[in-house]
Structure 1
Amino acid sequence: MGTFKIEGGHRLSGEITPQGAKNEALQILCAVLLTPERVTINNIPDIVDVNKLIALLQDLGVKVQKEKKGSYSFQADEIDLDYLQSAKFKEDGRGLRGSIMLVGPLLARFGKGYIPKPGGDKIGRRRLDTHFEGFINLGAKFRYNREEHFYGVEAEELKGTYMLLDEASVTGTANIVMAAVLATGKTTIYNAACEPYLQQLCKMLNRMGAKISGVGSNLLEIEGVKELGGTEHTMLPDMIEIGSWIGLAAMTKSELTIKNVSWDDLGQIPTIFRKLGITIERKGDDIFIPEHSDGYIIQNFIDGSILTIADAPWPGLTPDLLSIILVVATQAKGEVLIHQKMFESRLFFVDKLLDMGAKVILCDPHRATVIGHDFKSTLKATTMTSPDIRAGVSLLIAALSAKGTSIIHNIEQIDRGYEDIDTRLRAIGAKIERL
């Protein structure tokens, strides 16, 4: 188990460039299975979860070639479908949440797709019903081996249909879209997710020859085609990492420039941090955070009631940023209620913040009230363990702002989502060491 040793209380300065988007990568990489032709993808983050998926594709028979740092070409012209029934696949697929999105492309192109019950973060239950109900609507037969927790769908032919999704699941929408592009006839998906990363997937598929309309809305219409071709695709910067660096700058009272953020794809993120009192300036396609030497003040609602920040489907706030927002609020002036609707275990990391001296009331598994210190009392260094990717980086931000030396164990969780984070933080002045 890896460990970070962090000497907190130092101000940072300089520029930091966000990596390619992890959540986009997991969709885009699975889409290479839809064609036997070569697909080149740029700005791929070098992180554990993405590297696991690339290795899984190689084991499946995809030819992978690294062109340069962050750029790979993929060719799925000789797929080994027997691998899907192997013990190795059942083991490797279980260790990665994103592996569920292999099923849609495999079903579309080869008539069958299998996956073991995926793992990933321990942040609460993530159900797969939306994925498989979508496949069944397209004409697939579903089967589930309870003893091995092994899911499967099979179909001689997928047929387009109308479907109303029970939830606007991003991965569910992506999976169904990848299955529908090669189905016979027209598929209409209502209550579809419309996150920028899903839009990126649809745009890439259209360049490959798919016929998807309504991209960016919650109503997608897909005219099935017989085959798809190759393409080149460049991924967006990771909006969760951008939010992490905004929070880091505010918590450490640092002047920081975040480069090439793709402002038009950030949605509510700048607005939410401004509601916490953080100054965010747009400079071209960069974000500039000035030094908050006098702290930052949380806005109340117009009627004077306490600010509530909650996650919601796009264009609402992504749930992946709530852990970071909660940590940032611990040093703000004022109070805020954080409402995490999606996952019932994501707020449990606040016990670590309480050990550091934060004032947080955990109302229930989904809500926490934060009373900010206004930097009158700094957080105190401590030893802690990272429970998941986003809580892990939130605790890292807390440690960088705290007085003294903190230890964070289980940093493999952070490495799953953040590329070479200690080296990049040292470049802007952080005192962090990987033990």
Structure 2
Amino acid sequence: MPSFEVTGGKKLSGSINPQGAKNEALQILSAVLLTPEKVTITNIPDILDVNMLIELLADMNVKVERPQRDTCIFQADDINLDYLHSEAFRKKSGQLRGSVMFAGPLLARFRKAFIPKPGGDKIGRRRLDTHIIGFEKLGAEFTYHAEDGFFHLNAPNLKGTNLLLDEPSVTGTANIILAAVMAKGTTTIYNAACEPYVQQLCRMLTRMGARIQGIGSNLLTIEGVDYLGGTEHRMLPDMIEIGSFIGLAAMTQSDITIRNVGLENLGVIPDKFRQLGIHMNFVGDDIHVPAQDVYEIQTFLDGSVLTIYDHPWPGFTPDLLSIVLVVATQARGSVLIHQKMFESRLFFVDKLIDMGAQIILCDPHRAAVIGLGREQQLRGITMSSPDIRAGVSLLIAALSAEGKSTIQNIEQIDRGYQHIDERLRALGADIKRI
């Protein structure tokens, strides 16, 4: 199994372009199943999870042309529905949580779908209830067959309905949208997720002929149509990778420019890094992070310790809390990191503590970080990547640490960050894939 060997303590410099958004890709690629016409997608991230989803589409007999690594032309005019109930599909799709996104478009177009038990990150319980309850209210019948390991969904009469989601799940909202766009009648989704990725999906579907109102809000109204056509779509830059690069620049005292970030879609992300004391300049659609010797964590107006927590959009994304936590270890000051959504995402802090960080893990959801203010440099160790975001956080820590670090299980990092070692070497990092 490959590992990263990292020699830290080097200042980086240069510019870097963020990849296409991973979390958008899983929804957008699933949407190609809604039409027999050609759909062209650009700015596709060249990462393990996305490439596996494209392979699954090809296995389903979707025609796939890839003229460039970031561009695919899909045509789902001859889907093999039998494959969706095969052992091969169960094994392959079970490794990838994003495969659950196939259910919505398959229900919409073919009135049946199969969902294997989901795979993906081991970051805590990630329930499918929002998806399934939404499908059932649209008229789908749901049963679990233990003998084949699939959730079976059948919807001969998919009808619009009024939905109040119990949580603003991004994938749950997207999956319900994908089903509702071809249901009979009108569907309203209240407490819908309104992340830029969901907005992107709605705009793509609208160009295909869907009728969706309320895009960007938490109340969506969808009038079902009988047919959707082809379209072209370009994915947003990955906001999680952009945040990761901001944190990397601060931790390594580097001067880095992040190009073409889509500033209008970043929400509060720049503000949260400013609260850690990180300086940024915005030039056009670029973010320039100048080299800083020290960055100081702000306090609340009454002088109390800053708390940074995740929240549904337009709040702070949970995918960047791991990055914020590791960046805080070398800041001056203290911060409480509160990870509300996933109960296992903070367990990687034991590796940071081994590197010399001052962190108190209060419980599975909260960690208090006492910044070292660079008075004591982190030290290199051997560690393993537990999930995508924690893996990159550990990589950032290793790049700032004294000595050599080895990061194992880097397949987790490859699932979310394309050619990250090559791109970091271009900035001057000492990182080798071994």
SS in structure 2 opposite 1:236? coil
- Aligned ranges 1:28-177 → 2 under 5 Å: 28-177=28-177
SS of corresponding position for 1:334: strand
Distance 1:158 1:36 in 2: 20
Cα shift at 1:168: 0.1
Partner of 1:374: 373
Return the alpha-carbon distance in structure 1 between the equivalents of residues 195 and 87 of structure 2: 35
Offset at residue 69 of structure 1 (A): 2.8
SS in 1 for 2:139: coil
Structure 1 residue ranges without an equivalent (≥5):
none
Q: Partners in 1 of 2:336 and 2:146 — Cα distance?
A: 40
The one-letter code matched in structure 1 to 2:38 is R
Amino acid of the residue matched to residue 79 of structure 1? I
Where does residue 23 of structure 1 map in the other structure?
Answer: 23
CA contact (8 A) 2:267 2:314 kept: yes
TM-score (normalised: structure 2): 0.99
SS in 1 for 2:72: strand
Q: Determine helix, strand or coil for the equivalent of 2:372.
A: coil
Task: Indicate the residue corresponding to 1:425 in structure 2.
Answer: 424
For residue 148 of structure 1, report the CA deviation from its aligned partner: 4.1
Deviation at 1:249, TM superposition (A): 0.1
Alignment deviations for residues 403-422 of structure 1 (CA, whole Å, 9 cap, x no partner): 00100000000000000000
Partner of 2:237: 237
1:21 maps to amino acid: A
- Could you tell me which residue of structure 1 aligns to residue 296 of structure 2? 297
CA contact 2:256–2:288 (8 Å) conserved in 1: yes
- What are the residue-to-residue correspondences of 1:251-262 with 2, within 5 Å? 251-262=251-262
Percent sequence identity is: 68
- Partner Cα separation in structure 2 for residue 280 and residue 350 of structure 1: 27
Aligned to 1:272: 272
The CA deviation at 1:281 is 1.1
Using the TM superposition, give the Cα deviation of residue 67 of structure 1 relative to its aligned residue in structure 2, in angstroms: 2.0
Partner of residue 211, structure 2: 211
Is there any run of 5+ residues in structure 2 with no aligned partner, and where? none
Deviations, residues 270-326 of structure 1 (Å, cap 9, x unaligned): 000000000011100000000102x10000000111000000000001100000000
Deviations for 1:54-89, whole angstroms, at most 9, x for unmatched residues?
000111110000122300100000000000111101
Shift of 1:157: 1.9
Q: Which amino acid aligns with 1:354?
A: I
2:346 aligns to what SS in structure 1? helix
Partner of 1:180: 180
- 2: CA distance, partners of 1:109 / 1:87: 23
Instruction: Supply the AA of the counterpart residue of 1:417.
Output: G
Q: Deviations over 1:121-180 (max 9, x none)?
A: 010010000001000010010111235431121011211010100000000000000000
The residue type paired with residue 421 of structure 1 is I
Cα distance, 1:392 vs. partner? 0.3
Aligned residue for 1:368, secondary structure, equals strand
1:336 is the counterpart of 2:335: yes
Q: Secondary structure at the match of 1:381?
A: coil
Post-superposition CA distance 1:216-250 (Å, at most 9, x none): 00000000000000000000000000000000000
Provide the residue aligned with 2:384 in structure 1.
Answer: 385
Question: How many residues are aligned here?
Answer: 434
Residue identity opposite 2:332 in structure 1? K
Distance 1:84 1:434 in 2: 36
Q: Which amino acid aligns with 1:419?
A: Q
The one-letter amino acid of 2:157's match is: E
- Equivalent residues in 2 for 1:334-413, closer than 5 Å: 334-413=333-412
- Give a deviation string over 1:355-413, Cα, whole Å, max 9, x none: 00000000000000000000010000000000000000000000000000100000000
| Secondary structure of the structure 2 residue equivalent to 1:90 | helix
What SS is found at the alignment partner of 2:94? helix
Q: Secondary structure at the match of 2:126?
A: coil
2: CA distance, partners of 1:118 / 1:60: 18
The corresponding residue for 1:320 is 319
Q: Are the aligned partners of 2:104 and 2:178 in contact in 1 as well (CA < 8 Å)?
A: yes
Q: Deviations over 1:28-73 (max 9, x none)?
A: 0000000000000000011000000000011111000012230010
- CA deviation digits over 1:2-51, x for unaligned, max 9? 10000000000000000000000000000000000000000001100000
User: d(CA) in 1 for partners of 2:86 and 2:69?
Assistant: 32
> For residues 152 and 265 of structure 1, what CA distance do their matches in structure 2 show?
36
One-letter amino acid matched to 2:242: I
Contact 2:208 2:230 in 1 (8 A): yes
Which amino acid is the alignment partner of residue 433 of structure 1? Answer: K
Post-superposition CA distance 1:167-221 (Å, at most 9, x none)? 0000000000000000011000000000000100000000000000100000000
Letter in 2 for 1:244: S
Within 5 Å, give how 1:273-288 maps onto structure 2: 273-288=273-288
Q: Which amino acid in 1 is paired with 2:338?
A: H
Whole-Å Cα distance in 1 between the matches of residues 296 and 283 of structure 2?
A: 23
Please give the secondary structure, in 2, of the residue aligned with 1:372: strand
Contact 2:90 2:149 in 1 (8 A): no
Contact 2:26 2:50 in 1 (8 A): yes
Distance 2:384 2:147 in 1: 32
